[in-house]
Chain A
Amino acid sequence: MPRLLSRLLLGLVLVVGLAAGRGLAQSSAPSDTPAPASQAGATPSTADRLAQLEQQVADARSSGDNAWMLTSAALVLMMTGPGLALFYAGLVRKKNVLATMMQSFAMMVLVTVLWALFGYSLVFHGGGGFLGGLGYLFLKGVGAAPNPDYAATIPQQTFMVYQLMFAIITPGLITGAFAERMKFSAMLLFMTLWTIIVYDPMAHMVWGKGGLLNAALGGAFPTLDFAGGTVVHVTSGVSALVCALYLGKRLGYPKEPMPPHSVVLSFIGACLLWVGWFGFNAGSALAAGSLASSAFVATHFGAAAAALGWAGAEWLTRGKASVLGAISGAVAGLVAITPASGFVGPMPALVIGLVAGVFCYFMVAKVKGLFGYDDSLDVFGVHGAGGTIGALLTGVFASQAVNAIYKDSKGNTLPVGLIDGNAHQLLNQFVGVIIAWALAIVGTLVILKIVDVVVGLRVPAEHEIQGLDLSQHGEEGYNLEV
């Protein structure tokens, strides 16, 4: 009798469990799932069922990759607003806090429109050595179907909007060099021309199919740049130096003290940049696989080691480790690990970060003072210097064990970086860096000349003294008495 009861109970549990399982399955299945073939009467052949299975596997992979890439796109946008906006705004005097934030925000809106009209096409359509084509003008044909040249598992729209976020932050970085003295109108015109003349060609050369420096799609000088060391940081950092030299110093610099008005804002901004950078670097795997994990790890370790490097160098030379030093170091490390993130393991990431942290500290604290240029928020010292050293160290540490990007005709993997046994890669990295420097210098000079003639670059002296918040935007950042 007890045995019968226990069997009955077991049966009941099974029935309830099955019913619940079926209910769950039904509620999670999309309503447009086609009815199983057996209900239609015919038994599907093995080939049909295999094809169906393959399609389902591909769909599953696609939705996983797409989820990560959309998340990454949002993370990279967060780097500009509010990350970079806060980071920079804290470093200026309080009369310029809004104008500085507005320069980052303006990139979010201006570059977005340019990208939709022609920017994406100039970078990613066609196979020229220096610039893409016009086939994706107005985003024609950029839809749900993947573009297998770049990312075969996600809709091209996802790829397009992800790449847009890079095009936004790159000019945003430059704004730190001419902070507190450039006209808003001049800034808008400068950035419009800069994305066309400098960013779009450089991004095409490194990432576009057939680009001169493209390592995966048949470039003449395959330069390793996983997430934008040359495209984003060298171009913006070097252009920033040219801007600082062309515009001249802020009134009163360096005699008048111009300390950051709120390191608190900069701290929040820097931490948002760090988090957003996971989308920037790990997202550059363009899929949610193990390469994304590897890049995520390298990114984090590079940032940490660089913060220690910068703050440690400060501690040794000044006697104190500052908060601004630690966060600046973290950003420098994130910059330097950007080109390497998809090619190196955790230990080289620590080395790259540490070197970048110390190197950028000396660029900012010593070299800038020696030359006397007013790169107000140290865009060159952090992004130009950090990007250059990161691009070169990528050629040293890149490893086939992490990313087997080079293969011979039989499909065997080949060494990638110097330590791997491919010394030639270092030369290619030099070529990539030199082209980025040259394009940034020449392009920026030409653009500055044009903008200077058309609208004038600097605000009048009395506006600079009054502050750009009031003179350019008619607002104040802090109305604490109200």
Chain B
Amino acid sequence: MKKIEAIIQPSRFDSVKDALHEIGVEGMTVLEVRGHGRQKGHTEFYRGNEYTVDLLPKIKIEMVVPDALAEQAVQAILKAAKTGKIGDGKVFLTHVDDAIRIRNDERGDAAL
């Protein structure tokens, strides 16, 4: 199974969530985060003082899916999150050894 971490624009979150539900991803964890990649923030002025805000608000989605679903999920995220502008975010894939459902000790794909 694979863990997918996607960091996306907050404005694309609803589309990404719907796209993932459509292909059968049943669970996800969503975090409001701040960060930056190549997109270098913006400046703000308060009474003549200039502040550079380089950490921008983003949404981070974490989910673990069966190997068979992983590529499909990645494609769904890419399609739904893309605006074509700098700052669209990134997707990371990692291998996960096991998953355990706390309620009934199920393991592996059954626990997802």
Residue positions of A touching B, CB distance < 8 A: 254, 257, 259-260, 263, 314, 318, 320, 322, 324-325, 328, 361, 364-366, 368-369, 378
Cα separation A254 to B51 with both chains bound (whole Å): 11
Instruction: Give the top 3 A-B pairs by smallest Cβ distance, nearest first.
Output: A365-B48, A257-B51, A364-B47
Chain B residues contacting A257 (CB-CB under 8 Å) are: 51-52
In the assembled complex, the Cα of A263 lies from the Cα of B51 at a distance in Å of 15
Within the complex, the shortest CB–CB distance from A328 to chain B, in Å, comes to: 6
Closest Cβ of chain B to A51, distance in Å, is 61
Q: When the two chains form the complex, which single residue of A254, A320, A328 contacts B47, counting CB atoms closer than 8 Å?
A: A328
**Which residue, of B46, B47, B51, has the highest number of chain A Cβ atoms within 10 A?**
B47
- Complex contacts, A365 vs chain B, CB 8 Å: 47-49
Chain B min CB distance to A333 (Å): 16
Query: Are A369 and B46 in contact (CB-based, < 8 A)?
Result: no
B44 CB–A CB distance under 8 Å? yes
Q: Assess whether B46 is in contact with A259, with CB atoms less than 8 Å apart.
A: yes
Closest to B51 in A: A257
State in angstroms the CA–CA spacing of A422 and B49 once bound together.
42
What is the interface of chain B, defined by CB distance below 8 A to chain A?
44-49, 51-52
B46 is contacted by which of A324, A361, A366 (Cβ under 8 Å)? A324
Distance in angstroms between the alpha carbons of A408 and B49 in the assembled complex: 52
Q: A322-B45, A369-B48 are in contact. List 5 more A-B contacts (CB 8 A).
A: A257-B52, A259-B51, A263-B46, A324-B47, A368-B48
Instruction: Give CA–CA (A257, B51) in the complex, Å.
Output: 6
Instruction: List, in ascending order, chain A residues with CB within 8 A of B47's CB.
Output: 324-325, 328, 364-365, 378
> Cβ of A254: which chain B residues have Cβ within 8 Å of it?
49
Residues of B within 8 A of A320 (CB): 45
**How far is it, in angstroms, between the C-alpha of A328 and the C-alpha of B45 when the chains are bound?**
13
The smallest C-beta distance from B69 to any residue of chain A, in angstroms, reads: 34
Q: Shortest beta-carbon distance, B104 to chain A, in Å?
A: 31
Cα A364 to Cα B46 with chains together (Å):
10
| Complex contact B46–A260 (CB within 8 A) | yes
Q: Which residues of A contact B46 (CB under 8 A)?
A: 259-260, 263, 322, 324
B48 nearest in chain A by CB position: A365
**A378 partner residues in chain B, CB cutoff 8 A:** 47
B51 contact set on A, CB distance < 8 A: 257, 259
Most buried by A among B45, B48, B49, B52: B48
For A263, the closest partner residue in chain B by CB is B46
